[in-house]
Amino acid sequence: MSGLTIEGVTKKFDNITAVEDVNLHFKTGEMTCFLGPSGCGKTTLLRMIAGLEVPTTGKISLEGCDLTRVPVHQRDIGMVFQSFALFPHLSVGENITYSMRIRGHSRSDREDRARELLDMMHLPGVEDRRISQLSGGQRQRVAIARALAINPQVFLLDEPMSALDANLREAMQIELRKLQQELGITTVVVTHDQTEAMTIADEIVVMGNAKVLQTGTPMDIYKKPVDKFVAGFIGTSNLLPARMAGKDMVRVGETELKVGHVVGAGTGADQDILLMTRPEEVFVRPTDAGVPENAVHGTVSFVRDIGATIEILVDCDGHEVISVLTPKDWPDVRIGDAVTVEMPAEACTVLPA
Ligand code: ATP
């Protein structure tokens, strides 16, 4: 099969199971992000793809060839580490072409390649500098250039932006994505930053507790999370305790609402569930403006105007619902006002309680 495949991979360190029975396929040329909280096994999975760890059980293959026990230096893979791991005693150019030297490429080939990569990374003319003479952002570009020096089939990055400040991080995310698309290289990035994953990924793999919880495009996962953990990890979500009242109906308190999407089995009549909506898909109006269909009642508990958007927090029977709107849609409500929160059926997802 083309691309990178992980089949039934488990990794144990003594009595700790860092990765448990992971099955994934990465299409050639796509960018995938491993997203999840600290300690869920993201880095261990990436290190197994790189060959820096050997799976306890399972198989990893690239373009149909079994890689599971191929040593790291024989894999056609480039990796950028969280700390960048550049060699301080080597020049920028020598850092970039280190793996080419190990593989016996001539000095002139190495120098040409270093210049080519530095041009690509918008850092021309720094090949003779020391690493200590570069800024954090420049070091990161050098680490990326080094990983790409041998034209690898797979490009791996472990939290590549975590050492950068917020503005630089955003700029680098866009640059990395453009570069990856230009090169068409199969890429896997570990991150715990959901915005980063949404910005750069074709596919997101959400992990928790050593397992894969969900895979899909950023929008699939945003719109149809499989459970409240995933919903909470990607974006802000409103979760209201409710009960099933029919195939596509739920009851929140005494109010019946139609829902657009039901996740998971076991959602029989009267079963406790969570009704999930996203803040930009629910609409707050004063109660005296009439009661729309598919709406719950509540009281405004806070209004936060941050210029480009306005957030309205509504207390619905002890549960908070957030609505985010643009200033032109402002419904003119204040703290303490009785309001309705319209939740159009297509915006309503039922998750297991
Ligand atoms: P973070 O975002 O904090 O880097 P992560 O999701 O990348 O976390 P891993 O670093 O893969 O998580 O770690 C997964 C689990 O395996 C953790 O409980 C960790 O302590 C454990 N672990 C990782 N490497 C080793 C090791 N070499 N020896 C023992 N335990 C390890």
Residues 103 and 37 in one domain: yes
pLDDT value of position 311: 96
| CB 44 less than 6 A from any atom of ligand 1 | yes
**CA 73 – ligand 1 centroid, Å:** 23
Residues 262 and 305 in one domain: yes
Question: Percent of the chain scored above 70 by pLDDT?
Answer: 99
Of 57-61, 260-264, 336-340, the poorest mean pLDDT is in 260-264
The answer to whether the predicted template modeling score (pTM) of the entire model surpasses 0.85 is yes
pLDDT value of position 186: 95
pLDDT value of position 140: 87
Q: Which atom of ligand 1 is nearest to the CA of 17?
A: 16
pLDDT value of position 72: 86
| CB 32 less than 6 A from any atom of ligand 1 | no
Domain stop point among 211, 228, 245 = 228
**The dihedral of CA 330, 331, 332, 338: what is its sign?**
negative
Residues 159 and 253 in one domain: no
pLDDT tens-digit readout, 183-215: 999 999 999 899 999 999 999 999 999 999 999
Q: For residues 60 and 75, give the distance between their C-alpha atoms in angstroms, rounded to a whole number.
A: 12
Residues 23 and 88 in one domain: yes
pLDDT value of position 190: 96
End-to-end CA distance of the chain: 38
Residues 217 and 261 in one domain: no
- 54 pLDDT higher than 90: yes
pLDDT value of position 85: 85
Residues 248 and 305 in one domain: yes
Domain stop point among 189, 207, 228 = 228
Residues 222 and 241 in one domain: no
pLDDT value of position 168: 82
**CA 139 – ligand 1 centroid, Å:** 25
**CA 311 – ligand 1 centroid, Å:** 37
pLDDT value of position 50: 94
| CB 42 less than 6 A from any atom of ligand 1 | yes
pLDDT value of position 235: 87
Residue labelled with tokens 């403006």: 289
| CB 180 less than 6 A from any atom of ligand 1 | no
Number of domains, the chain: 2
Residues 201 and 262 in one domain: no
Domain stop point among 204, 228, 252 = 228
Residues 175 and 259 in one domain: no
pLDDT value of position 97: 94
**CA 24 – ligand 1 centroid, Å:** 19
pLDDT value of position 109: 93
Q: For residues 338 and 333, give the distance between their C-alpha atoms in angstroms, rounded to a whole number.
A: 9
Residues 132 and 43 in one domain: yes
Q: Any idea what the CATH number is for the domain that residue 249 is in?
A: 2.40.50.100
For ligand 1, pick from 12, 15, 16, 205 the residue to mutate: most ligand atoms within 8 Å of CB: 16
Confidence of residue 258 (pLDDT cuts 50, 70, 90): very high
What domain range includes position 139? 4-228
Which protein residue's CA is at the shortest distance from atom 11 of ligand 1? 41
Q: Give the pairing type, strands 249-252 and 238-246.
A: antiparallel
Residue labelled with tokens 């004063």: 286
pLDDT value of position 29: 94
Residues 127 and 216 in one domain: yes
Which protein residue's CA is at the shortest distance from atom 17 of ligand 1? 39
Q: Give the pairing type, strands 77-80 and 154-158.
A: parallel
Q: Which atom of ligand 1 is nearest to the CA of 45?
A: 11
pLDDT value of position 267: 66
